[in-house]
Amino acid sequence: MTEADPTAHRQYDFVVVSNRLPVDSTLDDNGEQVWTQSPGGLVAALEPVMKQHDGAWVGWPGRADLDLEPFDADGMRLVPVGLSEDDVENYYEGFSNDTLWPLYHDVIAVPSFFREWWDAYKRVNRRFAERTAEVAAFGAIVWVQDYQLQLVPKLLRDARPDLTIGFFNHIPFPSYGLFSQLPWRTHIIDGLLGADVVGFQRDADSGNFTQAVRRLKGFATKGQHIAIPAVDGLPSRTVIARKFPISIDSTYYRNTAQREDVRARAREIRADLGNPKTIMLGVDRLDYTKGIRHRLLAYGELLSEGRIKPEDVVLVQVASPSRERVKSYQDLRDEVEVTVGRINGDSAAIGHQAISYHHHSYPREEMVALYLAADVMLVTALRDGMNLVAKEYVASRFDNDGVLILSEFAGAADELKRAVLVNPHDIDGLKDAMIAAIDMSPHERAQRMRSLRRRVFEDDVEKWSSGFLNALDVHSLASEQ
């Protein structure tokens, strides 16, 4: 008879809730399932906090119809929430990524509004809230992450008013004119107002949110404070809505870049590309918000106009797979691959490809080698909550070299002001920025990069997480007084 897990019903003082658990399932040499830590900024930001507070992480394990008990991995307690194939199709691929994602990214693609998707979103958010309420100790801090779970804060507050609840939105929050298109807009606002602190990447995002609160709820707002009146016997309360720009583990990228094996790999990459004078690099999820098409258009025109030559300049484009079951993403992949093929067919010289295209992900160490090899980093997002790739590039450039071309529509543009800022819709302006980056003097490159690096190391991921949690603590203390 198997002994019961003595921790199965344990409760925790700190709980993170996100759509995905911070681990990926893989098979070892014996065919056994093992869990490895997922790459990404959120995991790097919260892992130390989780271990410090002996916390739990609630999330979906990443495969449909996988029913798991809570388990430990990398020193963290993980609490799975199961999703059926129908949940994945309607809650995740549907409402989260074909309704909210395009709507919150300035309707770059047209969002779909289906009631079945909304019903699935409500159902899954309730499941996450119920699972969280089970594992949260009395008076615990619960930190809910991102747009897939916007109803969870209110559901938790209704079930567990003892909890201190934070919510952080990693993607943009749209202007009211766009947000008002959502048939269930008031439900989303009600859901978010269940939190004590609602965090955003930029001042503009928190401003859009407070405007939506005023328009839809009529609540008074003053600066970052939203006054929630007493209702149904519940006391009045105040919600804080403000920016907490996320960042990266800057020290990891610097230290990795300084390793001799990584530096040797960077030299090898340049050699494999034919040792061109300039390597330009784009690293993105294959998503229509990232401006990959605009980047390719500008680069292709520079080649066709003879302003650059494939013997001198090569563009390396890493486009990691994303939401491959969603048709708009399938169409984007087809379009990008056709464009890359056409540019290479028209412009490549013997032994010199114009574009080196890679439709897969790389380990972080390989990415750091790519950052070191690249003379120019292209971040041309049409809309982005932050864009951590820009910060990763800067943190990796311990040599104070390299030029960052950065879209003004990425959240990172608020902080990285010494980048070459561009409007990616302005193709001529983007082309001129590429030429300016290629021709920039070593002195100016070093000046700009030193400034960028100071900012990335001052405002690292630890500052982001501690800043948000401090705001939650202060709010909790103020509420008790």
Catalytic residue list contains 170:
yes
Tokens found for residue 337: 């691959």
Are residues 245 and 464 in contact, defined by beta-carbon separation less than 8 angstroms? yes
Task: Find, among 128, 375, 201, 359, the residue nearest to 273 by Cα.
Answer: 375
**pLDDT digits 0-9 by tens, 273-289:** 999 999 999 999 999 99
Say which of 284, 384, 459, 460 is annotated catalytic: 384
Asked if 35 and 25 count as a contact pair (C-beta separation under 8 A), the reply is yes
Domain pair 12-246+463-480 / 250-458, same fold: yes
Find out whether 305 and 410 touch, Cβ atoms under 8 Å. no
Task: Single out the catalytic residue among 87, 105, 146, 170.
Answer: 170
Alpha helices in 193-237 (DSSP H): 203-217
pLDDT digits over 88-137, tens only?
A: 999 999 999 999 999 999 999 999 999 999 999 999 999 999 999 999 99
| 290 has a pLDDT exceeding 50 | yes
- pLDDT for position 39: 61
Averaged pLDDT for residues 381-391: 96
Domain ranges of the chain: 12-246+463-480, 250-458
- In the residue annotation, 352 being an active-site residue is answered as no
Q: Does domain 250-458 have CATH number 2.60.40.1250?
A: no
Query: Superfamily for 12-246+463-480?
Result: Glycogen Phosphorylase B; (3.40.50.2000)
Looking at residue 291, its pLDDT comes to: 96
The Cα-based distances of 300 to 114, 147, 190, 280, 290 in angstroms read: 39, 35, 47, 13, 17
Distance, in Å, from the CA atom of 387 to the CA atom of 201, rounded to the nearest integer, reads 10
Each residue of 232-275: pLDDT tens digit? 888 899 999 999 999 999 999 999 999 999 999 999 999 999 99
**Strand ranges (E), 328-382:** 355-358, 376-379
- pLDDT one-digit tens code per residue, 300-356: 999 999 999 999 999 999 999 888 787 788 889 999 999 999 999 998 788 788 999
